[in-house]
Amino acid sequence: MISPVAPAVGSRVVRPPGELVIEIEGVTKLYKMGAEIIHALRGISLQIRRNEYLAVMGPSGSGKSTLMNMLGCLDTPTAGRYDFTGKNVAHMIDDELAEIRNREIGFVFQTFNLLPRSDALHNVELPLIYAGVPPHVRHERAMQALANVGLGDRVHHRPNELSGGQRQRVAIARALVNHPSILLADEPTGNLDSKTGVEIMALFEQLYEEGHTIIVVTHEEDIARHARRVVRLRDGLIESDGPVD
Amino acid sequence: MTRIVYEFTESLRIAFAQIRANKLRSVLTALGVIIGIVAVTLMGTAINGIDIGFQNSLAMLGEDVLYVQKWPWHNVDDWWNYQNRPPFRVEMADALNRIIDTTPNSLLAVAVPVAGRGGSVKAGENSVSGVSIIGTTADYSRIVTAEVATGRLFNEIESTAGRPVCVLGSSVADSLFPGRPALDQTVQIRGQNLLVIGVLAKQGDFLGIQSFDNQMLLPLNALRKSFGSRIGIELRVKAKDKTKLAAATEELIGAMRRVRGQLPGERDNFSVNQQEVFKAQLDPIKSVIAIAGLFITGLALFVGAIGIMNITFVSVKERTKEIGTRKALGARRRTILLQFLIEAVSICLIGGAAGLAITYATCLAIQHAMPALPVEFSVALILISMVVSIATGIVSGFAPAWGASRLDPVVALRYE
């Protein structure tokens, strides 16, 4: 049992971990590339609890992206067990996974992935549309989510009218609007300058302190250091898993 | 259930944003559909128009009128059997009417003798040729639906006496008396002076079928004074119920054989004709229009459908990453399928609406330029073209939309 019980670095808050959200055991993933079979994951076991702030690190080809897709329920394992809040998602079909992604997971992408022709408000409303939330409720919740990331005055701006940092804030608002169990961020600062990157990481820190469970996938040590626990991958296996020092 | 409504409105919104963002591309894509819809609706208006124009003409002639004549209206190979049939005489109409009156529950109403000639009519310096001059009796008003604009039709006394009076069709009256009333003026046929006692209401013309406008009615006995008493006549018999024309025809044949004094086993020495024959003659014209129209429509819609399918494939390809994002946010297969189907259908519907507008404008232009040419726009055409547009959109959009809905979110998100 590994838990992030490291003492606070400086004045950093460490929240006590809650119940199990993700439980992975002996997960493998094979890809066929032509005649070649690639072992992206060779047997990974991992537990993530509520209130954790986890960084997944590893060089390219380490299986980092595959693990992230798995954690985000975008993909299913070839073998092994994957329970998400007690539900076995390893054998779910497409639409069931879509349901889990919609309700339990908030995605933040490196390239923001906002709809270019929709304003910030509509972008944030999107997960609520797929959740079947009635218009006035989703309008209200999207406005609130945008206000929470400091964009209450930018709701009707389109992505091309916003700076990179603002775009990523919209994406974060979108990820959080449906109150997911985890926030899953893939290289969230990869397309931002360092100053804006620091701002975004400060926002993540704030969200963590407010009680969100965050998983950041990154190859940058600086970014990983913001987390409370780091999982390092190499060649499809977990190399190390422990608190940030 | 509400979720699908939200997804539907979201899809509509995306579709129109997409079309707005790619205006030129959408218009070019819709072109095939536009042409197809114009073809199908123009064909529809033409067929409608022919039907309505014909119906009007038939109504004028009287749909429920049977024609007792020497020759049948269809072609005959054994013309010699018809050539020597005895002529009809005015007294036969009287005899027929007596039989009709004494037959209980007769399906026939009245028999009228009619003689017709083409000829020219003069009034002072003005003259009109090719007028159909019709001699008949006062009963004529009972078998036709002609409306008198001014004056009146001739009565029984004038009819029997063969008084020199006449009723003019509207275009005859206009040509002879331009800009002034024809009533109480005098016209001449073959040197005989006739007093104009009435003018018929304007009726319109259709595909050259004779209309009242180009007619002149006068008492049969007056006509004989100009054209001789040997002028051939025919009998027109009105049926009481136009839905029982076949039975009425049977009754008429029996009555006519009695009038003619024909023996059992003898072949009829007359023909009973009805306007159904005219209708049958129009069917090949309508078929040609329909076949040509369907061919053009089919071809245009086929090309249009390929265009829509192509553009939807392009749209799916361009927005692969967006599809991945939407799936990551919880869009299900159905949602993505619906989104691209609605986009394809929307382009088709816009094309369909544009096609309808073009057809409508064309119809108005035709009606304005050539009032005689029948075109008829209808609600059914609007419905048909909307259904055709939607069907085209669904058929052509389905394959790309299905492909999009099956995309693996991991692959789609990685797509650049």
Look up the CATH number of the domain holding residue A119: 3.40.50.300
Counted domains in chain A: 1
Tell me which chain A residue has its CA closest to the CA of residue B3: A132
Q: So what's the pLDDT on residue B7?
A: 87
- Who contacts A63 (Cβ-Cβ below 8 Å, separation ≥6)? A29, A40, A41, A42, A44, A233, A235, A236, A237
Most confident stretch, B26-30, B321-325, B382-386: B321-325
Q: Name the residue type at position A170.
A: V
Q: Which chain A residues have a beta carbon less than 8 Å from that of B18?
A: 117
Q: Is A65 part of any domain?
A: yes
Nearest to A132 among B6, B18, B21 (CB): B6
Cα–Cα distance between A86 and A132 in angstroms, integer? Answer: 24
Q: Among residues A101, A75, A104, which one has the least CA distance to residue A90?
A: A75
Element (H, E) at B193: strand B192-200
DSSP bridge pairs for B239: B108
Cα–Cα distance between A82 and A88 in angstroms, integer? Answer: 6
Characterize B350-375 residue by residue with b for buried, 16 or more Cβ atoms within 10 angstroms of its Cβ, and e for exposed: bbbbbbbebbeebbeebbeeeeeebb
* Between B78 and A188, residue with greater pLDDT: A188
Quote the minimal CA–CA distance from A68 to chain B in Å: 10
Cα–Cα distance between B264 and B253 in angstroms, integer? Answer: 12
Range(s) of the domain holding residue A61: 52-75+104-243
Q: What is the mean pLDDT of chain B?
A: 87
Q: Is the pLDDT of residue B20 over 50?
A: yes
Q: Is the pLDDT of residue B51 over 80?
A: no
Judge: B328–A74 Cβ closer than 8 Å, yes or no: yes
B136-179 pLDDT, tens digit per residue, is: 998 888 887 778 888 888 988 998 888 999 999 888 998 899 98
Q: So what's the pLDDT on residue A153?
A: 94
DSSP bridge pairs for B65: B238
Cα–Cα distance between A239 and A67 in angstroms, integer? Answer: 14
Q: So what's the pLDDT on residue B143?
A: 83
Q: Is the pLDDT of residue B366 over 80?
A: yes
Judge: A109–B2 Cβ closer than 8 Å, yes or no: no
Q: Is the pLDDT of residue B287 over 90?
A: no
Judge: A101–B330 Cβ closer than 8 Å, yes or no: yes
Low-confidence ranges of chain A (pLDDT < 50): 1-8
CB-CB neighbours of A30 under 10 Å: 13
Confidence class for position B52, pLDDT limits 50, 70, 90: confident
Judge: B3–A74 Cβ closer than 8 Å, yes or no: no
Q: So what's the pLDDT on residue B209?
A: 55
Q: So what's the pLDDT on residue B299?
A: 87
* Between A149 and B416, residue with greater pLDDT: A149
DSSP bridge pairs for B237: B66, B111
B235-253 pLDDT, tens digit per residue, is: 999 988 888 888 889 999 9
Q: Is A21 part of any domain?
A: no
Q: Is A195 part of any domain?
A: yes
Largest CA distance in chain B: 101
- Who contacts A219 (Cβ-Cβ below 8 Å, separation ≥6)? A57, A58, A59, A60, A64, A187
Disruptive mutation site among A41, A92, A129, A186 for chain B (greatest number of B CBs within 10 Å): A129
Q: Is A19 part of any domain?
A: no
Least confident of A233-242, B75-84, B213-222, B403-412: B75-84
Q: So what's the pLDDT on residue A133?
A: 93
Q: Is A6 part of any domain?
A: no
Q: Is the pLDDT of residue B125 over 90?
A: no
